[in-house]
Amino acid sequence: MNNRRPHTLLFIIAVVLVLVLGVSLIFYGKESEVTVPIHVKLAGLAPQLMIVGNLPVLEACLKGPSNLLKDLKGLQLSHEIDLTSAGAGPLLIKVPPEKIMVPQSVSVLEVNPASFTLRIERRVEKLVPVIPDLNNAPAAGYTASKVVVLPSSIRLTGPESLLEKVSAVRTTPIDLSGLAETIKKKVALNLNHSPYVKPTANTLVEVEVVIEEKTVEKWIDVHVRAKGNNSKYSIKPENIKLLLRGPVNTMNRLAQGDGINVYVDLKGLSPGTYLHPAVIEPPLNTTLVKAKPEKLRITIFK
């Protein structure tokens, strides 16, 4: 009887172990391996510093019960890196498998990549001018005579190595196609040159573009009339050459012989020959620069 007890006890223990193992296999399934992504969290970086460049995509190879790994496959593990003591410059980060938090029955076989380098730079500020980006031409005969930007400069912040290369910031394009009058509008800044360089304040500026007619000088040949006397007369020369300054569209119309009043006043003059300047009345938006000849020979007959 006494010799059978140990064997019976061993048999019972073996049965229990088999049952426990069987239940475990049913509940957890067989062991397998799976690769899951790891989300990297950065903490403690000083405000005067910043990370330049993208963080790598980390992956962990896990081993454990297949049912449990199946649940983990849809999740994203995370790993926090403490940068409290970090300074400017390259920083090598190692990610040991044992630092990845996983359930107790799961083990981390490896992390890929096992290490990577962070590029840490000083965060600086810089005041740069704003340049309006004017596109296309105004209406024919018009020009953008003046452009005012408010504010005329803007303060940027970003990594030192990138910001030292920025000398100015352009606005987003402003279309002037066909404009014949002044415009004033709010436009955004074009900051596409770097995702790390940002303005410290508002990204909108006010741009006023003054549209005016182009001013030109042009010689125009005009016929001279006479008034104030019914006697016969002659004017030599009969035409006078005028150098006028004014808007290009106005000057083109004047060149076609319309809009300039040029005459000599014969009122009170008796028969004879005289040298008289002509009375020239150009449009109000033009200026007389020179007249040739300055005086005309006028003969009044009896």
Residues 228 and 171 in one domain: no
Residues 179 and 147 in one domain: yes
Supply 209's token pair.
Answer: 């573009």
Q: Which of 232, 15, 139 is nearest to 7 (CA)?
A: 15
Q: Does the residue 105 lie in any domain?
A: yes
Domain of 179, CATH number, reads 2.170.120.40
Domain of 229, CATH number, reads 2.170.120.30
Q: Does the residue 269 lie in any domain?
A: yes
In the prediction, which pLDDT does 12 show?
60
In the prediction, which pLDDT does 146 show?
95
Helices (H) and strands (E) in the chain — how many of each? 4, 24
Q: What is the pLDDT along the chain (302 residues), one digit of tens a residue?
A: 455 555 566 556 554 554 444 444 444 457 888 888 888 999 999 999 999 998 888 999 989 888 877 777 666 788 899 999 999 999 999 999 988 888 888 889 999 999 999 999 999 999 999 999 999 999 988 999 999 999 999 999 999 999 999 999 999 999 999 999 999 999 999 987 678 899 998 889 999 999 998 999 999 999 999 988 888 999 999 999 999 999 988 888 888 877 788 999 998 888 999 998 999 998 888 999 999 999 999 999 88
Tell which of 180, 195, 213 closes a domain: 213
CA gap 192, 169 in Å, rounded: 10
CA gap 75, 58 in Å, rounded: 14
Supply 42's token pair.
Answer: 């950065």
Residues 131 and 104 in one domain: no
In the prediction, which pLDDT does 18 show?
46
Q: Does the residue 13 lie in any domain?
A: no
- Residues of the domain holding 174: 123-213
